[in-house]
Amino acid sequence: MPQSTLLVVSPYEDDHVFVEKVFRRSGWTVFAAWTCDEAVEAAGRQELTVVLAERHLGDVCWKAMWEKLTRAEMGHPMLIVMSRHADSRLWGEVLNLGGYDVLAKPLDEEELEQVVSGAQRRWQARLATPVR
């Protein structure tokens, strides 16, 4: 089984610090990206299991980053979008574009662990399913 990798994409230092603290001892490798371009570069360097992305990434939003990541040669990870304004509209949009879930900010440690673990299981199941 490949190492589980989590990419945190956010312009906010607090997001990076919090997620790193939560997953420090869990066996995950956590990478940081501050912009959409950095996230795409990271996806080109290693296989990512889960991407946890802030809804607003400077001049672009998560959708522009997700579109680029789904075209990455390494195969695309599971996407979780985080936002202070997490509502049913955003959740529907994320799911319709192939994302996994939405987390409301401020992040809750237990919820974060549960949602990321669920995304990891879905990613692993997708790898185990033969392509027809």
| % pLDDT > 70, the chain | 92
Which residue range forms the structural domain that includes residue 76? 5-128
CATH number of the CATH domain containing 73: 3.40.50.2300
According to the model, what pLDDT value does residue 106 have?
95
Classify the phi-psi angles of 10: left when phi > 0, otherwise alpha if psi is within -120 to 50, otherwise beta. Answer: beta
SS3 40: helix
Beta-bridged to residue 61, according to DSSP, are 56
Q: Has residue 21 got a pLDDT over 80?
A: yes
**Average of per-residue pLDDT across 5-17:** 96
Q: How many domains does the chain have?
A: 1
pLDDT, tens digit, for every residue of 58-111?
767 888 888 888 876 556 799 999 999 888 999 999 999 999 999 999 999 999
Question: Is the preceding peptide bond at 106 cis, omega within 30 degrees of 0?
Answer: yes
According to the model, what pLDDT value does residue 128 have?
80
25 pLDDT band, cuts 50/70/90, is: confident
Half-sphere exposure of 83 (CA within 13 A, CB side): 17
Q: Give the predicted TM-score (pTM) of the model.
A: 0.91
